[in-house]
Amino acid sequence: MAAIEARGLIKTFGSLRAVDGVSFQVERGETYGLLGPNGAGKTSIMRMLAGLSPISGGELFLSGLNVAEQPRAVRTRLGVVTQADGLDGELSVRQNLEVFGFLIGLSRREARARADEVLGFFRLRERGNAEVDELSGGMRRRLAIARALMGKPEVVVLDEPSTGLDPESRIRVWEELAELKRADVTLLMSTHYMDEAETLCDRIAIMHSGRILDEDTPPELIRRHAGSAALDLRPSGSSRADIRDALTNAGLRFREVGAVIRVTGGNGAPPVLPPLEGVQVSERAANLEDVFLALAGRGLQEEQP
Amino acid sequence: MSTATPVLAAETGLIRFRSVHAIWWRHLLALSRVWQVAMTWFVIEPVVVLLAVALGIGRLVGEMDAYGSYALFVAPGIVIGTAMFHAIFECSWSTFERIGQSYYETALTAPVTIPEIILAELAFAITRALISTVAVAGFAIAFGWIPLAALPGLLLVSVGVGLVFGGIGLLFAALAPSMHALSLVFTLVATPLYFFSGTFFPISVLPDWLQPVAWAAPLTPLVELARGVATGQLGVVHLYCGLYVMALAALLYPLAVVLMRRRLMK
């Protein structure tokens, strides 16, 4: 049985379809990433799973339990880290954990013991009596993740776990998430950071405008949509228009990002350039960003008939 | 897992007692962490009002036929009026702040439902009303303005205060788009009620056209009940008052659930 399964999932806000018929499966122990820009529908999917948002259509299951029919049973098996952290500023760090533990059904003694465990795991034990406001951004995020683990959930949902963190805190959060994965916890996370998705996720769904454009392991997505290598062209001032024409005529996929024109291949092959003049070419390994630009670009074109 | 039993209750729409208990406990814990400041709300402020009104204004008013001194008339009103402020503040201001800080969002990721959140908020509004009544009535009892035997009755009335004004506070918290708009709960509801619900003067001295309005105000039956308990003069009017309070509470609870669900679940 899949840890999470969505079948034709829909979320509407008035006339807006934030999630537009999305289907995917997350296997037990897997880390699955929803990758896409703001407004792609990632948060809506997670909020529906967490019972924070009513499902407008389709079906959503957690370990075979229908989220719409058994929301409470689902939430006893699920840990949720929302974008806002939702930490309780009126309580100490330790009280945040213990009160939440009591709320999910632990006895006070169990909650105290479990709080010790998760504080240790997240290396926050010395900060147990601190006020939440005294914590750094990274510590706050780790405390929010620690809180989601109070009930030893089978599945943890993380909405942009490292957004707003400095590089060192990010790495630390990543390490701790990797450790959870080793403990066989299923993780569903959203992110708009390509490096985060590539580092943490077994599989990724690339989302745009409420739809999944494609889904696979990061290397396979890169092979399929960006080829083995990508080329960055840096045209000199006057040659830009000519180069654009030449690339179009050659049937190549490209996208202008600032001063650079990124050219991607596809189906495992690197792009082959036509003869060009007045341009500096550098080759690099293709990455998820190339995949995203290729896919999202296509998605946008489909929207405009 | 120890959460297995309440799960069943959830799916049948029953109330999971642990949710209510845990949220109530959280509020008590948060209050106890600022107890030095809280003491001033519960003790100093109401006692200042009580002394100023009972001794200061009471000196000018002199004897009141049906009650003896003005202090005996006004003390139960101030006890209940103060309890009202606590209940309404808790469920409007504090609840609104907790919405902004995503407290309920976090609570809802646990196996918790909106009705349970509302019940916990009301339970804590009642708790604050009770603490307030113990403090203020305690002083009035010490001064001999309220008999000690009336305390249990006043506590019972304070439960009604918590339910009704907690409920009203929750409606404002659920509907207010901003802190500014929320302050209307004090200017439009709490302050007028504090003065025009038979707290400081009998409703019978108001002009004829205003009297029915004052009687319909939600604080009036509670003040009337408290005064009946304090003076020992209970009559059929107090039965109507009690029924009115229960009707208000029964109306406010489902309304608060619906509005809060609209606010929190999107």
- The answer to whether the Cβ–Cβ distance between B1 and A78 falls below 8 Å is no
Q: What is the C-alpha end-to-end distance of chain A, expressed in Å?
A: 40
Higher-scoring residue by pLDDT: B63, A168: A168
Which residues make Cβ contacts (< 8 Å) with residue A39, sequence separation at least 6? A18, A209
Q: pLDDT at residue B84 above 80?
A: yes
The pLDDT of residue B184: 93
- CA neighbor of A215 nearest in space, from A60, A24, A30, A44: A24
| Position B50 confidence tier, pLDDT thresholds 50, 70, 90 | confident
Size of interface A-B (CB pairs under 8 A): 104
The pLDDT of residue A298: 57
- The answer to whether the Cβ–Cβ distance between B30 and A91 falls below 8 Å is yes
pLDDT (tens digit, 9 = 90+) per residue, A223-267? Answer: 888 888 888 888 876 778 888 888 888 888 888 888 888 888 777
Q: pLDDT at residue A61 above 80?
A: yes
The pLDDT of residue B6: 42
* CB neighbours of residue B72 within 10 Å: 21
- Residues A142 and A169: their CA atoms lie apart, in Å, by 9
Residue of B nearest to A43 (CA): B266
Distance from CA of A131 to the nearest CA of B (A): 11
Query: What's chain B's average pLDDT?
Result: 91
Q: Which residues pair with A10 in a beta bridge?
A: A20, A57
Q: Which two tokens stand for residue A16?
A: 């807006």
Contacts of A45 in chain B (CB under 8 A): none
Percent of chain A with pLDDT strictly greater than 70: 96
Contacts of B111 in chain A (CB under 8 A): 72-73, 75-76, 104-105
Q: pLDDT at residue B247 above 90?
A: yes
Q: Where are the beta strands (DSSP E) in B75-232?
A: none
Q: Is the dihedral of CA A41, A43, A46, A51 positive or negative?
A: negative
- Classify strands B68-69 and A65-66 as parallel, antiparallel or unpaired: unpaired
Of A12-26, B19-33, B48-62, B181-195, which range is least confident?
B48-62
Higher-scoring residue by pLDDT: A302, A273: A273
The pLDDT of residue B13: 67
- Interfacial residues of B (vs A; Cβ cutoff 8 Å): 1-4, 6-7, 10-11, 16, 18-19, 21-23, 25-26, 29-30, 33, 101-103, 105-113, 264-266
B228-250 mean pLDDT: 95
pLDDT (tens digit, 9 = 90+) per residue, A181-223? Answer: 999 999 999 988 888 898 899 999 999 999 999 999 999 998 8
Contacts of B109 in chain A (CB under 8 A): 50-52, 75, 78-80, 82, 86, 148
Burial state string for B200-235 with b = 16 or more CB within 10 A and e = fewer than 16 = bbebeebeeeeeeebbebbbbbbbbbbbbbbbeeee
The pLDDT of residue A4: 97
Q: pLDDT at residue A301 above 50?
A: no
Distance from CA of B92 to the nearest CA of A (A): 17
| Position B246 confidence tier, pLDDT thresholds 50, 70, 90 | very high
Query: What's chain A's average pLDDT?
Result: 90
Q: Which domains does chain A have, with CATH numbers?
A: 4-218 (3.40.50.300), 222-303 (3.30.70)
Selecting from A76, A84, A95 the residue whose C-beta is nearest the C-beta of B105 gives: A84
pLDDT (tens digit, 9 = 90+) per residue, B104-145? Answer: 999 999 999 999 999 999 999 999 999 999 999 999 999 999
- The answer to whether the Cβ–Cβ distance between A90 and B33 falls below 8 Å is yes
